[in-house]
Structure 1
Amino acid sequence: MSESEANAEALVPKFKFERLLNQDQAGRRSSMLGTIDGQPALLILERAPFPSSADYLGSVPASLRAIRNLGANDIYHWYLANSGPVSGADSHEFADLKINLIWPCTEKHIKKYSRQGVRFVTETPEIYRDHVRPYMQAQREAGRLNWAFNIIEGRKEAEDVIYRTPYGEDPEEGFLLLPDLNWDRKTLDALHLLGLVERRDLWSLRDLRKKHLPWLRHMKAKFLDATTSVYPSIERDQLKLYLHYQPTYYHLHIHIVHVALEAGATQATGKAVGLESIMSQLETMAGDDEEAGMDSVTLCYTLGEASDLWVDVFEPLKRTNTAS
């Protein structure tokens, strides 16, 4: 190591913390003000990517400390943990890892979380009717919604529910709100909640019709009221609501997130569709036809090349169109 490198590395341990200036990237980057040798200094800490070494990754699970379960539902489990000791502190308070565990996982899960190429597809009303809707039905019949029904029926995560209409009182209007399993439940700038509807005939935004507008407006207002009541430091205009298309699972649900949550792939164009945009589109459809709905529009979105929807539907359609 050169003398200049050694001198540079010696500076960091001399940093004397004064105050936190900012946290962004959902708390993964911290900007701090302090001093070094009496002179003002800015220190910016950012979590580095996990090493890809098999030896390192294989050793991580056994090395975690203070693992605390946040919840468990069917095959899904989520935790907070420490990657190392925290000197002189309550280890639970300073957890630096949010962990999701899917066990036992399926081949579908493995494909979803594997690195893969991405395609941008166009789903016309005809493709939806003839190909995608039957695919959705097959997925639902495979019984992969047990975890969602556990929540809706109050068998799991009942203590986490922030708001719900009385279960079963009006199955066509009922809904509930709870933290999304990907949120650590403490970083408010990264707040991510999930709204689940009781009714089972609405699989995705494709099933929404003009007649659902009063219900959607009511549900949106209740979600905003409940969120700002439970988290009073958050105001209504600091929240955004969206639906995924394609969703990960085919039971209608709405995501409620803090506007400061940095948009990753799940909030990007081609994946997330704003609830307000859906409602506005429904409002302008077909005059007074209450049955006019989102199944009549063309939607464009991204798909992973390993996804069943690409392999079984859109790739064969592409080959057919290319051949013709």
Structure 2
Amino acid sequence: MTGSSENTKTTPEALVSKFQVEKLLKQEFILKPDQNGRRIALLGTIDGQQGILTAERAAFATESLEVLQAFHAALSGVHNLGDNDIYRWYLASASNGGAGAAPPDLKLNLIWPCTAQHIKKYSDQTLRMVTETPAIYQNQVRPFMRAKRDEGRLNWVFNILEGRTEQEDVILRDAGHGPDDAFLMLPDLNWDRKTLNSLHLLALVHRRDIWSLRDLQKRHVPWLCYLRQRVLDATVSMYPDLEQDQLKLYVHYQPTYYHFHIHVVNVMLEAGATQATGKAFGLENLISQLESMADDDASMADVSLTYYLGEASELWTEIFAPLKRQS
């Protein structure tokens, strides 16, 4: 993924005000430890190129395009938290004016320029449960993964790992006992970076041979145990108000991007779609499953996995929907 030359000429804060709202892609109900809220995803343009702006707060009015445009026009105090390639994240307020600066009450994410795949991901769609057998994985899903990696979908990940972007956000770099052990940790772009009850971090490994949990083998158990403990130690060291048994570690399948990473969240964070059964696989359970396998070469590629997909996703339209029609 590459941005336009305009990306380097316009400050991240200015991009939000230049965003031209076109339509609502999705609004979703979310649960937080202390409140019920809503998140919206807006499709629009900046300098003629499409982008997606997501925002979250207690409630949103979404009954017309005029209301959505008024919401966008009311944004103030936009503060950039970071950016990497086409992804940017902010704190902002949605005040209606008045004396003094309003405290930030919104978390914004901007993807610009966005792709057709981004628009599909952030749009409302019906979900389907699918079962991916070892044969389907090897013959169809694995080639799909390879194609996505070859398209450059991991540029933003490599930017972080190679020290080009977001270095001020890295809270731990661990070289381990060799190159295969190295990883780093940083805040997830959806966390506001201050509310511990909604803490959400990412641990990105440096090694590039593990694309997803499907690549994990029994021989990786010592590495996974080491990685788990170092991630827990680093998190409670950075946030001393938390203890290790207040943290939940999981990986996604299917993941958003095909480079192995672990999500670290506060157990108080309500389990939304990204933590639901059929999306999140607990790291401890994965380790236990690998330990029970017969030999060191046995892997998660040898088992069937059941998970959900949106009907707009390429995995559904290109692989699982045709398989369903054939059955």
Same fold (TM over 0.5): yes
Distance 1:78 1:60 in 2: 18
Asked if 1:108 corresponds to 2:108, the answer is no
- Kindly indicate whether the alpha-carbon contact (under 8 Å) linking 1:120 and 1:302 is maintained by their aligned counterparts in 2: yes
Q: 1:56 to 1:160 in 2, by over 3 A?
A: same
Q: Are the counterparts in 2 of residues 27 and 187 from structure 1 also a CA contact under 8 Å?
A: no
Letter paired with 1:230? M
TM-score by length of 1: 0.82
Q: Secondary structure at the match of 1:170?
A: coil
What number of residue pairs does the alignment pair up? Answer: 278
Aligned partner of 2:290 in structure 1 is 282
Q: Secondary structure at the match of 2:191?
A: coil
The CA deviation at 1:27 is: 4.6
- Residue correspondence of structure 1 range 28-177 to structure 2 within 5 A: 28=35, 47-84=58-95, 91=102, 94-166=103-175, 170-177=178-185
- More deviation in 55-64 or 208-217? 55-64
1:303 lines up with 2:314 in the alignment:
no
Cα offsets for 1:264-286 (capped at 9, x unmatched): 00000000000011000000001
Is this contact kept in 1: 2:77–2:101, CA < 8 A?
Answer: no
Is the Cα contact below 8 Å between 2:84 and 2:159 reproduced in 1? yes
Residues 1:291 and 2:300 aligned together: no
C-alpha distance in 1, partners of 2:189/2:278? 22
Superposed displacement of residue 166, structure 1: 3.8
Equivalent position amino acid for 2:245 in 1 = D
Q: 1:216 aligns with which of 207, 213, 224?
A: 224
Q: Secondary structure at the match of 2:284?
A: helix
Cα distance, 1:221–1:90 mapped onto 2, change above 3 Å: farther
Work out the CA distance in 2 between the residues paired with 1:88 and 1:216.
Answer: 53
2:14 aligns to what?
none
Give the aligned residue type for 1:306: A
1:316 correspondence with 2:327: no
Q: Tell me which residue corresponds to 1:195.
A: 203
Q: CA deviation at 1:58?
A: 1.8
Unaligned runs of 5+ in 1: 1-23, 31-45
Inter-partner Cα distance in structure 1 for 2:227 and 2:136: 30
Tell me, yes or no, if the aligned pair for 1:78 and 1:98 is still in contact at 8 Å. Answer: yes
Cα deviation, 1:168-208, whole Å, max 9, x if unaligned, reads x8331111111000101011100000010001111000000
Asked if the contact 1:119/1:305 (under 8 Å) is kept, the reply is yes
Q: TM-score, normalised by structure 2?
A: 0.81
Q: 2 CA distance for matches of 1:60 and 1:111?
A: 23
Runs of 4+ in structure 1 deviating by more than 4 angstroms, as ranges, are 85-90
Distance 2:79 2:101 in 1: 13
Does the Cα contact within 8 Å between 1:195 and 1:253 map onto a contact in 2? Answer: yes
Aligned residue identity for 2:113: P
Q: Alignment RMSD, CA only?
A: 1.8
Answer whether contact 2:175 2:181 (CA < 8 A) is retained: no
Q: Which moved more, 1:299-308 or 1:57-66?
A: 57-66
Which secondary structure does the structure 2 equivalent of 1:222 belong to? helix
Q: Which structure's CA Rg is the greater one?
A: 1
